[in-house]
Each structure stands twice: as C-alpha cells, then as structure tokens.
Amino acid sequence: MFVRIIPLIFCLFLGLLPTSHAASNVPELPKLDAAQYLLVDFLSGTELAAKDPDKRIEPASITKLMTAYVLYQELEKGNISIEDRVLVSEKAWKMEGSRMFLEAGKKVPLERMISGLIVQSGNDSAIALAEHTSGSEENFVRKMNEEAVRLGMTNTNFVNVTGWPNPRHYMSARDIVTLTRAVITEYPEHYKLYAEKEYSYNGIKQYNRNKLLWHDETVDGVKTGHTESAGYCLLASAQRGTMRLISVVLGTESDKKRSNYSQQLLEYGFRFYETHKLYDKNSVLTEARVWKGNSPTVPTGILEDFYVTIPKGHYAQLKGLMEINKSIDAPVKRGDVVGMAIIKDVDRVVLQKPLVAMDSVDTGGTWTNITDSIKKLFVE
C-alpha cells in the first residue's frame, strides 16, 4: 500500500467528501444550455462536472425512480409479490400524460405494470401500483419522502408518484444521483429493466424515451422526464469497463438537446478520468492508541470499498496518508470515527474518507485509568 501514517493529527469528517479534480490536463467542459446538470462517478461519488446541482427543480417523470425504489423495497419485504394482480382504479385510468393505457376495473399482473412504469413511464401504472401497495397514492408518497430523508436527499419533497407538476414537488440534481446510486447498488437485477428499449401492453408498443439507449451501447438507463414547466430532462448512466458514470441534465429546450448534452457529459467523464479501487471493504489500515481501555490499541480501517476518481495518467502520483486522533478514550465501538484517510494527487487532496475503529474496546480497570490519565498529559 502507498499509505504513510501521520499519527498525531486529527480531522473529523462525517462522510465521503469528493473533491473537485480540476487539473491542467483536463479541459473545461463545453458550455451546456441546460438549467442544471451533474456528472458523477458511481463508485467513488466524485463530481466531475456540475451546474447548480443543489437547486430545487421540478423533476417530472424522474420522480418515478423513487416510485420504483419503494416498490423494490416492498417486494423485498414480501409485502407485495411480482405475481400480484393489480386493480386499475378510475383515478389511475384517468391519468393524463405518458401512459401504458390501462383499462379501469381490470386486474393486471404487477410485473407487467412495473415494466410499464419504467419503460413506458406510465402515469397510470404509477398510480395503480401505489394504490395497490399502500392503499392510496398519499400513503405511498409518505414512504417516498421517508426514503428520501433516509438517503440524505435534503433538497427533495414528493407530492405525487408521477412527477405531475406541483410547486411543492421537487428534487435536485445531486439528490437524483444519490437515489440512482442506491437503485443500482441495492437492486441490480431490477435496474436491468431500465435498459429495455420497448414494451408492449394492450396491443400498443411504446419505445423508451431515453434515446441514448440507441446511440450508445454502454448506456443502460435511466429515466427521462418532461413537462412544459420542467423542460426536457434526462438521467443517464453508462458503464465502460469497470467505470460507471451517472449524468443528470435538467431543463433543456428539446428531447435532442437533453440527449446530446447527456452524451457530452458522459464522453467528457470517460475521456478524461479514471477510477481505481484503493482498498477493499473491511480493510485494516493501521492502529490507533486507545486510552483507559482494556486494550491499548484498536485496529482502524474502512468499512466500505474505497475508490478514487482522478484525471487519467495520475494514478502513479497518488499518495496516501492517515490522520489519527491522538486522544481516543475507551469505550470505543466498532464504526466510531477515529481519524481520516486522505488521498493526494501530488500536493492536492482529491479524496477524504473517515477511518473507523474496526473492533470495540471496553473501559479498562482502575489502574489503567490512572496510569493512562497521567501518560496522556505528556502527549496532548
């Protein structure tokens, strides 16, 4: 490993903090005429390009990504089954906008409705599935907002399951990426459906509105959105080799522009950046001194795979160091933050991630407490 240890410095960070990778060999992204956009590496979470990523915007049908995410959870819990037959209500049947053309009063296999939700972006299927799962759209929306809070989507609030315009219904580009990473990570089998180019129901064939599925074979999702007020929006993801990128383009003037801008973002990321795994999850990297405990040290490391995204050709320049808290008192629990792993590209910090205790350390006896209290005076 390329890590060196600086033992007596401490910085507390609560989460992964990607850092901008502006570098001399990475040109500026050409100007994109979109209201907001964001390009993120899936594995490292590093943001490679952005414009107003935290601004609250109308997400239109990108909303249905959260609708589907909650459905996946309910399927996993066994609260609903892929074999369920879903009753189509009058409310679902009357929905305007994109539809899979369900008929009121009929029961449709849940599996077919999920395909209609994702591939055809069916507003009618979204309503019917929400009512089947939670009794009403309102109840289902509460689950959507609960999940948004759990995932840390701080600029998101849902009012409906379809993305129908409402001033209290909004997301941000960064929140959209957060949700996308969760869907791909937690439900890879369900995610495959986002690459389907067409789906037929009730004798009507409809095509996926994500035109990149036809133009770039590495693109495998994710979701389009459009209303008069939101403009044309596209959430896309592509994988080339082991590197996956997620792009969000919001508020463009046309279907063509949202596709072109999304392709530009993806090409920019793949052309000028590369992603590497530095450490496997549960890797022990060093030890930290523990005072007043039944053990004088605790192994420290990381609980998740540790990736870094850097300008191409910079991997050999990376340096790693660890900053460890010099004043750790027992008790210590596994997962407690005890320092920081820092990755530098020459002298520029490119990524920081918390170092945590990999084991627990209980409080020591009276004598240990006394002697360590004295010793600690000479190192603080």
Q: Exposed (0-12), middle (13-18) or buried (19+): which is 63, by Cβ within 10 Å?
A: buried
Among the listed residues 44, 98, 115, 121, the single catalytic one is 121
Angle, CA of 62, 65 and 67, to the nearest 5°: 115
| 89 catalytically annotated | no
Phi, psi of 118 (to 5 degrees): -85, -50
Pick from 325, 331, 315, 328: nearest CA to 355: 325
Alpha carbons 373 and 366: distance in angstroms, whole number:
11
Phi, psi of 85 (to 5 degrees): -110, 125
Q: Classify residue 161 by its DSSP letter.
A: S
Distances (CA, A) of 360 to 296, 331, 333: 12, 7, 4
Q: Cβ contacts of residue 26 below 8 Å, gap of 6+?
A: 272, 273, 311
Q: Find tokens 């107003």 and name the residue.
A: 52
| 64 catalytically annotated | yes
223 is in an annotated binding site: yes
The amino acid occupying position 338 is V
Say if CB 304 and CB 271 are below 8 A apart.
Answer: no
| CA end-to-end span of the chain | 29
| 61 catalytically annotated | yes
Among the listed residues 44, 64, 89, 211, the single catalytic one is 64
Say if CB 328 and CB 308 are below 8 A apart.
Answer: no
Q: Which residues are annotated as a binding site?
A: 223
Residues with catalytic roles: 61, 64, 121
Q: Which residues are annotated as a binding site for substrate?
A: 223
